[in-house]
Amino acid sequence: MTKRFGAVQALNDVTLDLPGGSVTALMGENGAGKSTLLKILTGDHRPTQGRVLLDGRPVDLRSPADARAAGIRIIPQEPEIVPHVSVAENVYTGSLPRRAGRRLDRAELRRRITADLDRLGFADVLQPDLLGSQLTAAQRQLVEIMRALTGGTAARVIAFDEPTSSLSEHEVDALFALIDRLRDQGVAVVYVSHRMQEILRLADRIAVLRDGALVGVRDARTTTEDDLVRLMVGRDLSTMFVRRPVVGDRVVLDVRGLTTDRVHGIDLRIHAGEVVGLAGLIGAGRSELALALAGDLPVRSGSVTLDGRPLPSGSPGAVIRAGLGLAPEERKAQALFLHRTIRDNTSIAVLERLRRFRFVKRGAERDLAQEYIDRLRVRTPSIEHEVRKLSGGNQQKVVLARWLARRPKLLILDEPTRGIDVGAKAEIYRIIADLAEQGVALLVISSELPELLGLADRIVVMQNGRTTGELNRAEATEEAVLALAMADDISTSASGAAS
Ligand SMILES: Nc1ncnc2c1ncn2[C@@H]1O[C@H](COP(=O)(O)OP(=O)(O)OP(=O)(O)O)[C@@H](O)[C@H]1O
């Protein structure tokens, strides 16, 4: 398979087989060609050269309908859900049961969804009457999975594109159990992810792409993390985390008793040069706290000062001008101008600074933006390329580059490495360390504990909108963080056991 987009060679003569009854993971740096390969399988792109064989016979995949008819399904990263209709109607869009007069056959719809939920083992996690707008990220994904596994030709090939990025641990377990069942049924599963641990746990084989070429297929039982990283980036990444000198004593952020609709009585202090990690399970209130600090969510009570001055509340623009930056979790949806160039998207944050300080040189600012684009190794033909044409991971790097170039007094990074490849992760860790060394205060939210443990000088843990504890570098272990993240549950079950 070869695929060119103008001058960009996205895939270069890739030959790969996907055996039934096994899980093949697809790994590679951002822009290596993973999504392009999936899109050819699903009929969304036509290859420049090459063909697809199913059970030894060539199949012509001219459209998503062709792929579906052939039994090839993909679970996309961002499921398309209709907000104002029920789960059942979302699952069977296009093939809804109708009565005479084209009226929706609600009784038949309910019978069908109940049977399918039972068969797939989703009955206790997905209520058929919920509206699309009420679904969690995990539930939205389950709707996509149900679409793929119900009706029409039985699925032969199912591809998952970074399915776990917005799932909680419990939901990941449920997804893996489902994938195991698909494997047992003889389906060829393709699994795209940047999460090494997950891949080593789930996959049978690991195929690695680099610059559009297949550089190796490894047996998951015998390969190692180092081996895979070397294949992916073509070099050794000796140190992921960089140690830094100790923190200063100037308090940059001082939060007292901050309360919003979702978080209660938060006290938090971050010093110049300090990296504070914010841990907690999904729904603990970490992103809400970040958004409240950034002026994006209303604050009910409490006080926040930045460098000794009260931080304006309720106005993201004023907060940014005061020196607080937030790179939000949903970077693509919340932060990018997709039809503008990389240069526009990166310089936007610094242009504002240009307006405020008239003597800053435009060229210098642009160089700064370019520097971060280079350091994050955004894979693009030029800085004038439109952002929508970049791979997902490279789009995320552009948003990060923008904030890094801006250098606020306090930078909040919400899941900064989600969807980002190992090479760029190492670079982001280094940039965080550099910023801290320059005296920037950092608050890092991450669901990947090894990442938080490696980065943070101190870890604050949240549960149900409150902080449940704080651990310094020496005390912080995965177990200690998890114990605090589930503090209520543990004490409830312990008291239950005692009684
Ligand atoms: N529609 C398009 N127009 C132009 N170039 C494109 C288009 N789609 C993809 N590309 C380019 O093809 C290359 C491969 O992109 P692809 O999306 O397959 O990468 P990926 O491995 O999925 O990356 P990521 O991990 O970041 O999602 C990239 O250089 C990308 O910029």
State pLDDT tens for residues 387-444: 888 887 888 788 878 877 777 899 999 988 887 888 888 888 888 888 898 899 999 9
Of residues 471 and 284, the one with the higher pLDDT is: 471
Question: Which segments of the chain belong to CATH 3.40.50.300?
Answer: 3-81+135-233, 251-497
> Is pLDDT above 60 for 368?
yes
With cut-offs at 50, 70 and 90, classify the pLDDT of residue 39: very high
> Is pLDDT above 90 for 99?
no
Cα 64 to the center of its chain, rounded Å: 25
Q: Which atom of ligand 1 is nearest to the CA of 6?
A: 4
The 10 Å Cβ neighbour count of residue 318 is: 13
Distance 217 CA to ligand 1 centre (A): 21
Residue nearest to atom 18 of ligand 1 (CA): 33
Distance 345 CA to ligand 1 centre (A): 18
HSE-up of residue 443 (Cα within 13 Å, Cβ side):
30
> Is pLDDT above 80 for 274?
yes
The predicted structure's pLDDT at residue 496: 40
Collapsed DSSP state (helix, strand, coil) of residue 306: strand
The predicted structure's pLDDT at residue 246: 66
Residue in 5, 385, 398 to alter for ligand 1 test, most ligand atoms within 8 A of Cβ: 5
Reported pTM? 0.73
Q: Which residues line ligand 1 (CB under 6 A)?
A: 5, 8, 10, 28, 30-36, 379, 389-394
> Is pLDDT above 50 for 228?
yes
Distance 28 CA to ligand 1 centre (A): 12
Check if the beta carbon of residue 90 is closer than 8 Å to that of residue 150.
no
Token pair 């570098």 is found at 473
State pLDDT tens for residues 309-319: 999 877 888 88
Residue nearest to atom 29 of ligand 1 (CA): 31
What number is the average pLDDT over the span 214-218? 95
Please name every residue paired with 23 in a beta bridge, in sequence order, or none if there are none: 189
Is 251-497 a CATH 1.10.10.60 domain? no
> Is pLDDT above 70 for 360?
no
Distance 388 CA to ligand 1 centre (A): 10
Pick the CATH number of 3-81+135-233 from 3.40.50.300, 3.40.50.720, 3.60.15.10, 3.20.20.70: 3.40.50.300
> Is pLDDT above 90 for 7?
no
The predicted structure's pLDDT at residue 353: 55
State pLDDT tens for residues 68-94: 899 999 888 778 899 999 999 999 987
What number is the average pLDDT over the span 99-117? 88
What number is the average pLDDT over the span 243-265? 87
Distance 54 CA to ligand 1 centre (A): 25
Q: Examine the predicted complex and report whether its ipTM is higher than 0.90.
A: yes
